[in-house]
Amino acid sequence: MSFKKIQTTGRVWFTSDTHFSHKNICRGVTDWRTKDGEVPIDATRDFLTVEKMNARLVDNINHFVNQNDTLIMLGDVSFGGFENIEIFLDRLTCKNIHLILGNHDTHIENNRENIRSKFLSVSHYLEVNLNDRKFVLCHYPLQSWHGMSKGVIHLHGHVHLPEDRKFGNGKKMDVGVDGNGLDPYSIDEIIKIMSKRSIGSEISDDHHLDGMVGVVG
């Protein structure tokens, strides 16, 4: 099983779905409404203004992730215009950032004004070896992934799961900020958590887990 190594320094951190400057995810100013006309509490963050939400996102990352650390972002960096991508990244202390593209990262995917130069790498999907552990990284949650039966950890974002639902079957986890008090996760924390979780799949009859001889992947 060949998992690549990427450039890292210091401690490694993961986060996803920061949605910097996303007006509608901010409860105090959102235009979102439930079918009965109420503000959707579960789908919004408890801030009166976008500015306060943005400040908390930046402060929380900077509190944990030092200048010489490595931050891996699993997509949906920012909203509200192209310029907010650079504003957000410039406010972060850490500049050693790898990005897994999310569905709202169109400007970065298209490399508008060479914005990809703000990252050490940009990809849609990554199989990587970090701290002697193998990870499959994707913005979207996968039902089955490479090396799942061998204990490979799958990290994703996209679905904004709350803390009590952020784990899938097996060694699978949503690292989005909404399930962690808007904080990033350290790789040490993730490895510790996953060491206690059994190998499993979202698919009840996944043949990669049934012990058949000759199955690869």
How far apart (Å, rounded) are the C-alpha atoms in residues 105 and 90? Answer: 17
Residue 4 lies in a domain: no
Quote the number of domains for the chain. 1
* Residues sharing a CB contact under 8 Å with residue 167, sequence separation 6 or more, in sequence order: 173, 174, 197
**Domain extent for 55:** 12-204
According to the model, what pLDDT value does residue 202 have?
84
The angle formed by the CA atoms of residues 100, 111 and 44, to the nearest 5 degrees, is 50
Residue 45 within any structural domain of the chain: yes
Amino acid occupying residue 142: L
> Is residue 7 one of the residues assigned to a domain?
no
Helix-strand-coil split of the chain, %, nearest 5: 30, 20, 50
Mean pLDDT for 35-62 is: 97
Cα Rg for the chain, rounded, in angstroms? Answer: 18
The answer to whether position 3 is within a domain reads: no
- List pLDDT tens digits, range 75-95: 999 999 999 999 999 999 999
Q: How many CA atoms lie within 13 A of 124 on its CB side?
A: 4
Beta strands in the chain (DSSP E): 12-15, 70-73, 97-100, 121-123, 125-130, 133-138, 153-156, 172-174, 185-186
Token reading at 155: 């990290």
Share of residues in the chain with pLDDT > 90 (%): 89
Q: Using one digit for the tens of pLDDT, what is the confidence trace for 124-175?
A: 999 999 999 999 999 999 999 999 999 999 999 999 999 999 999 999 999 9
pLDDT of residue 215: 54
Residue 86 lies in a domain: yes
- The conformation of residue 43, written as its DSSP 8-state character, comes to G
CB contact set of 158 (below 8 Å; sequence gap of 6+): 16, 17, 75, 76, 102, 103, 139, 140, 141, 174, 176
- Cβ atoms of 122 and 105 within 8 Å: the answer is no
Does residue 212 fall inside a structural domain? no
pLDDT of residue 201: 84
State the CATH number of the domain containing residue 79: 3.60.21.10
Percent of the chain residues topping a pLDDT of 70: 93
d(CA 7, CA 9): 7
- Contacts with 107 (C-beta within 8 Å, 6 or more apart), sequence order: 82, 85, 115
Segment (H or E) for 125:
strand 125-130
